[in-house]
Chains A and B, each alone.
Chain A
Amino acid sequence: MEFILEPWPWYVSGPCIALVLLVLTLLGKKFGMSSNLRTACAVMGAGKKVKFFDFNWQADKWNLIVVLGAFIGGYIGHNHLSSSKGVDLNPETVVDLNNLGFTDAGKYYMPTELFDYDVFFDFKTMALLIIGGFLVGFGTRYAGGCTSGHAISGLSNLQLPSLIAVIGFFIGGLSMIHLIFPLIF
């Protein structure tokens, strides 16, 4: 039990994610979380105006149930299966983050500067979360998948397009952290 409450090492976590891919594939489905964003648009009636959302979303209900599960799993994992809320980062990462103004880097699961409740009243942080979310939603559909759909499912199926997408993920991610972070934090 003690082991479960500690953070899980990569060699436990990675195979667990592969297991999710295996089970969903054997259920005749595909492992791709970002499809839910499109389904959400369709559920809210976007199909009436935009053809891209005019599809039988009822057939994708299973994916929304997986999302509901992930939500519940997040609650259980964080509140009942974790003895500490900190993240054991490389000390260099902590120094880099401290220099950017993230004073409690690694002490909690998420940076308080971005995810504490008072950010709702902070214009700049709200703007950053809105821009970040928008880029994730727009980019993932443009690329036809996200970390699960391309980096895990696509690469597992040896798809060249997925490798190109993952290279794109890194071009974007590296630019954000190395070029843009010093300007905005």
Chain B
Amino acid sequence: MRSLIYLIVGIFFGIVLVKSEAASWFRIYEMFKFQAFHMYGIIGSAVGLGIVFIQLIKRSEVKSFFGESINIKDKEKSVKRYLIGGSLFGLGWALAGACPGPMYVLLGAGYLPIGVVILSAITGTYIYGLLKDKLPH
């Protein structure tokens, strides 16, 4: 039953990413060129509403659908890892035109070459895990 809920959430998310064109390589390029409001509107309105949702949940101490308490963790404090890691991610995001959600959506949509990007992203994550302790964080 729980699996079915996650599956439905995923299907909805996949459809939204296709229909919003947030999974399109072209829209990512256009965003980084500041030539359209579209992507900023999507992220901006999602975050605007998200702030309201998260604040309401935090203040109301509402339980999860399964009756467990909801704890939303703070991100660990640092600058280096977010700036360096984020910049590397941004380079890849603009080149491949896809971040980790849209990748799977595009594979489902039938763009097989994105499979190369997915395998390479898994490899990149593996190499990070290997080098983690040697990198500045």
List residues of A whose CB falls within 8 A of some B CB.
4, 7-28, 30, 33-34, 36-38, 40-41, 46, 50, 52-53, 62-63, 65-79, 81-82, 87, 89-90, 92-93, 96-97, 105-106, 109-111, 114-117, 119-120, 125-126, 128-148, 150-162, 164-178, 180
Contacts and interface: CB of A to CB of B under 8 A. Distances in A.
A71 B105 contact: yes
A89 B26 contact: yes
- Chief secondary structure at chain B's binding surface: helix
Contacts of B89: 135-136, 139-140, 142-143, 146, 165, 168-169, 172
Nearest to B92: A135
B57 to A, nearest CB: 6
A74 B89 CA distance: 23
Interface in B88-137: 88-101, 103-114, 116-130, 132, 135
A171 B43 contact: no
Interface in B21-54: 21-33, 35-51, 53-54
A98 to B, nearest CB: 12
Given A25-B57, A140-B121, A162-B75, 4 more contacts: A4-B19, A17-B46, A110-B111, A164-B83
A167 B84 CA distance: 10
Contact of B19 (A77, A114, A130, A171): A77
A69 B7 contact: yes
B36 to A, nearest CB: 5
Contact of B18 (A62, A81, A177): A81
Contacts of B132: 52
A176 B96 CA distance: 11
Contact of B11 (A76, A133, A160): A76
Nearest to B30: A93
A152 B31 CA distance: 16
> Which of B7, B76, B135 gathers most chain A CB within 10 Å?
B7
Contact of B35 (A92, A132, A159): A92
A117 B94 contact: no
Contact of B75 (A38, A67, A159): A159
The 3 closest A-B pairs by CB, nearest first: A69-B10, A73-B14, A168-B86
